[in-house]
Structure 1
Amino acid sequence: MKITSIGHAGFHIETAAGSILCDPWVNPAYFASWIPFPDNSELDWKALGQCDYLYVSHLHRDHFDEANLRDNVSKDATVLLPDYPVPDLKRELERLGFHKFVETTDSVKTTVTGPKGSLDIMIIALRAPADGPIGDSGLIVSDGETVCFNMNDARPVDLDVIDEAFGHVDVHLLQYSGAIWYPMVYDIPRKSKANFAAQKRQRGMDRARSYIEQVGATWVVPSAGPPMFLDEDLYGVNDLGSGIADDAIGDLDVAPGTNPVPGDVTSIFPDQVTFLEQMRIHGTDDGVKHRGLMMVSGSAADFTGPTLDGIEHPYPPEEVFGPNKKAYLERMRAKFAPIIAAEKASWAPAEGDKLLPALRELFEPIMAQSDLICDGIGYPVGLVMSPHSSSKEVTDETEIVVLDFPNRIVREPKEGEGKYRYGFRIATEIVRTVLRDNEPDWVNTIFLSTRFTTWRIGGYNEYLYTFFKCLTDERIAYADGWFAEAHDDDASIRKDGWEIQRRCPHLKADLDKFGVVDGDKLTCNLHGWEWNLPTGRCLTSKGHELRAEKL
């Protein structure tokens, strides 16, 4: 088995039975904030795209690169599809022209056969609303000789299924670095922010080491690592503060207010060198049974079972790490400046009508469908929007909109309302862009970009970020149902002479809201699925039985 790193969480896996292209991300993502590190734009993407199989783990933009998939990947590739309850990933791939799918079952070993031979695969699908944009996944591949677990940035709970189905894992590819906006965007004192960042950074690496110990692979490749932040407004988010001599701190050209200070670790984005050292310190790289392996974009390693037959790098990896990292990022900043400028030019203009009507039209129907999530948020949330700025400055052009979750409405602030328990300051043009593009997910567009600031009083509110992630009828129905099922899986409703389970067996929609009874037949109007009420049998698909009783 030959495994080539193609950047970030992306890999090209070659076997005698065919090749698999995994998560091929190359174009800047999240409002051009994230760029693959090290740079992978010089790889031969047309050649990589002539693959037998395509695996896209989930819809995060640093995994699902629409332009690259559209322009460079063969539409005759067979897609290895995770078992997600909401079919957004399949729909997006079909829209791009992909038409061959192997629809896997969560955590079940499957044999895929093509003209070149057969491969054993398993996809572990994570389905909670917090897992990616309604789903995240990891892929296990065996060519009969070598077993590779591409965990990318999934966080599976049950890893015993891998050992039961495949035995020993030879190569483990996993995330070890941050992929979040906390605490960089928070309105808190700088020293507190540095302390929180150090804790977040270490927790991420500790979690990755825990996975290494559970999987027990011979070789571990740190991947899905930090992106590069090359825009001048975000440059200070890069991991430059640690490991830089004190007398060099003042020479760093980073955004105002974000210069690293001696002793501070202000970035949650450790790089590969940092994590490999963590593995050695904590014994997850013992140099014998378990070993860390450095791979950069273009590195290719050949494995025969647990044996590394050889590895080739496109350049010495040290050229982009340690003392050379700042110079490398400066070169990349110059290279990508025109690309970032073009991306910014494509954003919606900051000027325009008031945003309140458009936000009311977007959010209020979602609020009306998500009682449990709105109640879980439990308080009004403020959106402060100013042209070209996410700073605290309030000007005549600033518009404040309140998401009043207790009352399920979007409104103007009330006089004397004061500071909201949770709030976001976002540049107006960014909000107008996601509205223009009908984005179903602000978490994986605005928030991951780190192009905003925020504050909160109290703890992290999972319900709030779930809401922002689920801005379609289908997504919010699933998410609200997920939380409802976690609290009460025996709930029933009474409708037209029948007592029926409250949640649709398909995607957990609330049948009190979406169910229509016509004689002995129930239809869930969210997707049009139908059931025979006397028997509970699903008339649309095999399985998915419904609990129902005539009153």
Structure 2
Amino acid sequence: MCHDAAFLFVADGRSVLHGNDARLTAAQARRAKHLAGDRLDVMALQASGASWHPICYEYPAAEMAELSASKRMSKLRSVQRLVRQTAPELAVPFAGPPCFLDAEVARLNWVLDQKDGAFCDPEVATDWLREHLPAQHFDHFKPGDSLDLDTGEIVRDPVSAGFTFADAARDPYLERYAADRAPHIAGVFAENPEPGPGLFDRFAAHFEYLGGLSDYFLRQIAMLVRFEVTGPHGGTWDVRLSPDGVSVGEAAPDARPHYRITTAGRWVESVLSGRMAWEDLLISFRLSLYRDPDVYNDHLVGLLKHANAPALQAVEAYETERDWSERITVEWDGGRYDIPRYCPHAGEDLAVGAIVRDGRVHCLAHNFSFDLATGVCVNARAANLTSRRIG
């Protein structure tokens, strides 16, 4: 029962569900508990998503703060509901916040701010979850800590015990950390040198290859993506992905891109040469993005992420062969609405994995929001929810 690297361990009458760095649905977590004999001794949870949105996007400060707060709370509420559904003996928040040691991305360390950042640290996540689920046992761990599953005793590592995520201690710690890792960071740059001549030709060939992998994905993307590639042999290049295929060329002054992605040529070259995948580049935060309109396109990211025909075919089959017959009723502002039980994006059970707020269904698995009146996804490109008012 694995989803995005979630694992269930059962031995000697004890069970651990390792859900860090995973997006488990409530149904998957409940199934794991059932497989473990209807008891989970420990459930590790991802309390901060590994996401480049909104951090890498070009938003005004006020909008960035609003989006970051929404992202943070959406993730915490998702964890809250997952724990409520499974009731482990001990729930342990993991993940986040990221920190940046290289000067190229050090400006992003504002995400560590405990008040405004999109990613909360384990201490903050544990405190929030304890407040909102007071009957549930929560704790968090640092490197070297140990837990005895039979007694529940936690032994704290004496070195890690002195570490805190508090803002006042952060900057000196990061300076020392960056100095310690400087040779390794330099090694990464050495392994990913500046590109040579012909970068555009290699770039164009790469996207022409991607465009031949799935007609379905091209239909779902149907947009112009502009790449601003900085450094030697870079340029501003437009990639038009449409049902008719893919075309790549120099950016046209009068063309309006839906996505704009800016990054250094050395990282583009690393993707083209196979040293890293597009997802590695995105999650490295070594790029900036802009959307117009500001609507997420999951299929564009999926094409870059998977980049092979069998995986794309599997996604297509899942999205086109789902059973929409099972439906539920939700209420908002005195009205009752009939909606499918499962999210049209990735199949989260909306009966337990969603909230209704401001006339919208908010799926907590991936933060997709659907307008109840129209069924339209308002913050991403996704299939219509097919909602209808029944009372």
**1:119-268 map, 5 Å:** 124-126=1-3, 136-157=4-25, 158=27, 159-165=29-35, 166-238=37-109, 242=113, 265=116, 267-268=117-118
Structure-2 change in CA distance of 1:150 and 1:241 (3 Å):
closer
Residue 223 (structure 2) aligns with: 379
Q: 1:447 aligns with which of 257, 270, 282?
A: 282
Structure-2 change in CA distance of 1:139 and 1:338 (3 Å):
same
> After superposition, what is the alpha-carbon deviation per residue over 1:39-77, rounded to whole angstroms, capped at 9, x for unaligned?
xxxxxxxxxxxxxxxxxxxxxxxxxxxxxxxxxxxxxxx
The Cα RMSD (Å) is 2.4
Residue 30 (structure 1) aligns with: none
> After superposition, what is the alpha-carbon deviation per residue over 1:134-192, rounded to whole angstroms, capped at 9, x for unaligned?
xx132222223322111112222213323322212111111101310011111221221
> After superposition, what is the alpha-carbon deviation per residue over 1:454-502, rounded to whole angstroms, capped at 9, x for unaligned?
11113111111111112123333333333333499xxxxxxxxxxxxxx
Tell me the TM-score normalised to structure 2 length: 0.75
Residue 70 (structure 1) aligns with: none
User: Share of identical aligned residues, percent?
Assistant: 23
Q: 2:296 aligns with which of 453, 460, 474?
A: 460
Residue 57 (structure 1) aligns with: none
Residue 177 (structure 2) aligns with: 332
> After superposition, what is the alpha-carbon deviation per residue over 1:72-127, rounded to whole angstroms, capped at 9, x for unaligned?
xxxxxxxxxxxxxxxxxxxxxxxxxxxxxxxxxxxxxxxxxxxxxxxxxxxx233x
Q: 2:268 aligns with which of 419, 423, 431?
A: 431
Residue 363 (structure 1) aligns with: 207
In structure 2, what is the Cα distance between the partners aligned to 1:348 and 1:232?
A: 17
Structure-2 change in CA distance of 1:474 and 1:241 (3 Å):
closer
For these two proteins, the number of residue pairs brought into alignment is 319
1:425·1:454 contact (CA, 8 Å) conserved in 2? yes
Provide structure 1 residue ranges, at least 5 long, that are not aligned to the other structure: 1-123, 127-135, 244-263, 389-395, 489-551
Residue 364 (structure 2) aligns with: none
In structure 2, what is the Cα distance between the partners aligned to 1:351 and 1:438?
A: 16
Residue 344 (structure 2) aligns with: none
Q: Is residue 2:301 matched to residue 1:301? A: no
1:229·1:238 contact (CA, 8 Å) conserved in 2? yes
Residue 398 (structure 1) aligns with: 235
Structure-2 change in CA distance of 1:354 and 1:332 (3 Å):
closer
Alpha-carbon shift at residue 316 of structure 1 (Å): 4.7
Q: Is residue 2:322 matched to residue 1:477? A: no
Q: What is the one-letter code of the residue matched to 2:49?
A: G
1:382·1:424 contact (CA, 8 Å) conserved in 2? yes
- Give secondary structure in 1 for the equivalent of 2:91: strand
Q: 2:128 aligns with which of 273, 278, 296?
A: 278
**1:75-86 map, 5 Å:** none
Q: What is the one-letter code of the residue matched to 2:23?
A: R
- Give secondary structure in 1 for the equivalent of 2:187: helix
2:100·2:106 contact (CA, 8 Å) conserved in 1? yes
1:367·1:374 contact (CA, 8 Å) conserved in 2? yes
Structure-2 change in CA distance of 1:162 and 1:479 (3 Å):
closer
Tell me the TM-score normalised to structure 1 length: 0.54
**1:95-106 map, 5 Å:** none
1:220·1:291 contact (CA, 8 Å) conserved in 2? yes
Structure-2 change in CA distance of 1:419 and 1:187 (3 Å):
farther
Q: What is the one-letter code of the residue matched to 1:303?
A: L
Provide structure 2 residue ranges, at least 5 long, that are not aligned to the other structure: 325-391
> After superposition, what is the alpha-carbon deviation per residue over 1:268-323, rounded to whole angstroms, capped at 9, x for unaligned?
221111111112221x244xxx322221112111111xx41342314253423213
Structure with bigger gyration radius: 1
Structure number with the higher helix fraction is 2
1:139·1:149 contact (CA, 8 Å) conserved in 2? yes
Residue 192 (structure 2) aligns with: 347
Structure-2 change in CA distance of 1:363 and 1:162 (3 Å):
same
